[in-house]
Structure 1
Amino acid sequence: MKKTVCILTLLFITITAYSQQDKTMRSLDSHFVHTVYFWLNNPDSEEDQKQFEKAMKKFMKKSNHANTHYVGKPPKATRDVVDDSFTYALIVSFKSAKQQEKYQNEKAHLAFIEEAGSLWNKVIVYDSQGIKL
């Protein structure tokens, strides 16, 4: 009886965790994804990191066109195929390419570039449109 209860409990936890993960995976709007990698001039400077993160936080709060967003830093690469040379990554999703175009010219985006642009020496952008699988 105890084994059955344990097995049913584990099964319930597994199903619950899987269903939560599934919901999270669907939250990214795959219509149009804008991925930006930033290389700061002084990547080890805590002051520059704080300034960049403050500007990014303000930008993401004020953006009227970004549907979802993610900002991260690279973990230490453990495989040769992983590029961990960047300082920050920004992934933003949009309902359409037209929304992404509006985002490029909105005040919040332009203010972010003005405020934090001097902190980086390299930016690479990858845009993609979702496909149905």
Structure 2
Amino acid sequence: MKPTSRRKFLEKAGLATLVSVSPLEAEPEKTKELFVHHVYFYLKNPNDAKDEAALMEGLHKLAKVPTIQYVHIGKPAATSRSVIVKDYSISWLCFFKNIIEEEIYQTHPIHLDFIKEYSHLWEKVVVYDSIGPKKVS
């Protein structure tokens, strides 16, 4: 049997047209659920006001990624219950229409520049992503 390239296989199978379809059309289930992206930054120097200010500056730049629907930048609240975690420096919470919009954000030049310019400030990041209905009744 003669070896076939992936492209030739797709063309022969009649699937090549799917490659040209937008992700929204090809995977409609990915457009139905709100996507929430929550990042906790742990600064290398948590008591350094300059580092904190620099990261805040970077996050404000990052908030300009067009697929972000809503963003919240915060610091640990002055609450004290046993279930509350307050060991992080800064929290970044943003909402996207769907997972596709979040995937665009992940590869957007503003996001890539943010990582390149500001990652030296943190020792660790923890990310919680979740999906759910766009509207809860």
TM (normalized to structure 2)?
Answer: 0.71
Match of 2:62 in 1: 59
Local SS of the residue matching 1:111: helix
Corresponding position: 1:31 with 2:34: yes
Cα distance between partner residues in 2 of 1:113 and 1:129: 24
Deviations 1:18-37 (A, max 9, x none): xxxxxxxxxxxx71101111
Match of 2:110 in 1: 108
Contact 1:31/1:130 (<8 A) preserved = yes
Gaps of 5+ in 1: 1-29
Local SS of the residue matching 1:34: strand
Cα distance between partner residues in 2 of 1:124 and 1:49: 17
Match of 2:93 in 1: 91
Cα distance between partner residues in 1 of 2:73 and 2:107: 20
- In angstroms, what is the RMSD of aligned CA positions? 1.3
Match of 1:22 in 2: none
Say which structure is richer in helix.
Answer: 1
Cα distance between partner residues in 2 of 1:126 and 1:59: 18
Local SS of the residue matching 2:63: helix
Gaps of 5+ in 2: 1-32
TM (normalized to structure 1)?
Answer: 0.73
Match of 1:43 in 2: 46
Shift of 1:86: 0.4
Q: Percent identity?
A: 35
Aligned residue pairs total 103
Displaced runs of 4 or more, over 3 A: none
Match of 1:8 in 2: none
Local SS of the residue matching 2:41: strand
Cα distance between partner residues in 2 of 1:45 and 1:118: 14
Corresponding position: 1:74 with 2:76: yes
Cα distance between partner residues in 1 of 2:53 and 2:127: 22
Alignment-mate amino acid for residue 46 of structure 1: A
